[in-house]
Homo-oligomer: A and B are copies of this chain.
Amino acid sequence: MEAAVLTPLPSTLAAMVRRLASHSSLSGAERAKLLDLPHRLVSLDRGKYIASDKDTSNPWAVLLTGFASSSQMTGEGSRQIVAVHLQGDLLNAQNCFVSASNLSLQALTKVHVAYIPASALLDVVSNHPAIAQALWRDALVQGAISREWISNLGRRDARARIAHLLCEIATRQKAAGLSAGSEYQWPMTQSEIADAVGLTTVHVNRILQGLRADKLIELDRGRMVIHDWFGLKSVGDFTGAYLPHCELVAA
């Protein structure tokens, strides 16, 4: 099932600790406890499932490098991507509590993932209130992002939705220290964008052409350049206020 480990794996859970420490204060002992969590490191190619909604086992997955998506299928068979994840994201904490989830986690790029047994995590949480609090807070941050997606899908037109998604991914990459300038790694195909913003691939293509024609962005698979950050923010009605560390983003 899993891709052979062909590239050197990141050796530690540092990305996860960095993420938690970015919004919560953790002592040295607590960080050490997190780094010591038993885990299994895995490298997966683009398209592979990190966790499927059909899985019965439920380890907790942390994204150490690369990009991933959470998606749900409707009864009619169409897919909705409900979240895009990047380095350091805690992917499926709900699996610690619920055996069956309706979420599928899929690698958008080549990824490195650490699987942590739910029992080990719950054990640490029970003994370290600060860690429990950090995980709580992380869930709240992810909740804020989800709510913004709801607004995006419910009350913005196609052009704004797409611009908003571009802004969000760019901002989160900056906050995670993955980009400095106006160039970003872009992990999604146009069809994946469509599944994320609730449009068809054809329409996404036309909107993107418009954004390019208006000199707001450059975009091909793997790479995005934002030429006019203010313009794109304005088209997408984007304010990073709901994201932690949004102030880190260059204006």
Contact = CB atoms under 8 A, between A and B. Distances in A.
Given A154-B153, A154-B198, A155-B79, A132 B136 contact: yes
A151 B100 CA distance: 18
Contact of A97 (B70, B128, B140, B147): B140
B75 A237 contact: yes
Contact of A150 (B23, B122, B133, B150): B150
Given A136-B139, A146-B143, A241-B102, A151 B72 contact: yes
Contact of A129 (B93, B97, B128, B242): B128
Interface in A142-164: 142-144, 146-151, 153-156
The number of times this chain is found in the oligomer is 2
Contacts of A237: 74-76
Interface residues of A, number: 53
Given A82-B151, A100-B241, A154-B153, A125 B135 contact: no
Interface of A: 23, 70, 72, 74-76, 78-80, 82-83, 93-94, 97, 100-103, 122, 125-130, 132-133, 135-137, 139-140, 142-144, 146-151, 153-156, 195-198, 237, 239, 241-242
